[in-house]
A and B are shown apart, each in its own frame.
Chain A
Amino acid sequence: AQKVTQAQTEISVVEKEDVTLDCVYETRDTTYYLFWYKQPPSGELVFLIRRNSFDEQNEISGRYSWNFQKSTSSFNFTITASQVVDSAVYFCALIPNYGQNFVFGPGTRLSVLP
């Protein structure tokens, strides 16, 4: 069975602070894919990143970076120099190879205060 845990329910930071959102997953599959989605107050799900289980390179995209550590089954997401527009709920999700459906974590609500 697959499971995704996001232990931080809510985080508040002040603008320009760095913030890391934690994600820990469980799966018995050797091949799987990890994702992060952002859900702003308007409600839609915005794709941020996809990472496969064989690629442990960290990735940076602008102010966003992701740290994938297979040894600890973690896929953490860092926002550098946070902005008010980063305020949203962030979901980590897993899908096994040839799987049909995402398993989402419970989400972390990030509030960036001006």
Chain B
Amino acid sequence: EPEVTQTPSHQVTQMGQEVILRCVPISNHLYFYWYRQILGQKVEFLVSFYNNEISEKSEIFDDQFSVERPDGSNFTLKIRSTKLEDSAMYFCASSAGIASYGYTFGSGTRLTVV
């Protein structure tokens, strides 16, 4: 079964450093998403991406965050200057059509900011 692949599975970074989380969505999917889950809390929407641009973003997705699809296969989330409160599990997801048909989530990247 096709998978959404996220790398790395765990990343530790120093506060203030830039970090890039990488995702390879399912190849024929057109819609891409990032979600965040702070430890022990619910999963929260960050951003959706379609046709090479952001289609929707939440209040969490401020100027510190950016997304990119640099080469037609990868989908990245960049955090420019990490804060302690950015420590969380970050999930990438993709869908073939509209979101209400459901997504395929990746297995997540656990980001720890120290």
Contact = CB atoms under 8 A, between A and B. Distances in A.
Interface of A: 32-33, 35, 37, 42-45, 47, 50, 52, 91, 93, 95-107
Nearest to B105: A45
A91 B56 contact: no
Nearest to A52: B100
Given A43-B110, A44-B108, A99 B44 contact: no
Nearest to B6: A44
B42 A105 contact: yes
Contacts of B100: 32-33, 52, 95-99
B8 to A, nearest CB: 13
Nearest to A49: B102
Which of B56, B102, B106 neighbours the largest number of chain A CB atoms within 10 Å of its CB? B102
Contacts of B112: none
25 contacts: A33-B102, A37-B105, A42-B107, A43-B108, A44-B107, A44-B108, A45-B91, A45-B108, A47-B104, A50-B102, A52-B100, A91-B42, A91-B43, A95-B99, A97-B100, A98-B98, A99-B100, A100-B31, A100-B33, A100-B55, A101-B48, A101-B58, A101-B99, A103-B45, A107-B42
Contacts of A33: 100, 102
Which of A99, A101, A103 neighbours the largest number of chain B CB atoms within 10 Å of its CB? A101
B89 interface: yes
A100 B34 CA distance: 11
B43 A47 contact: no
A24 to B, nearest CB: 15
B28 interface: no
Nearest to A106: B42
A102 B43 contact: yes
Given A43-B108, A47-B102, A96-B100, A101 B91 contact: no
B51 interface: no
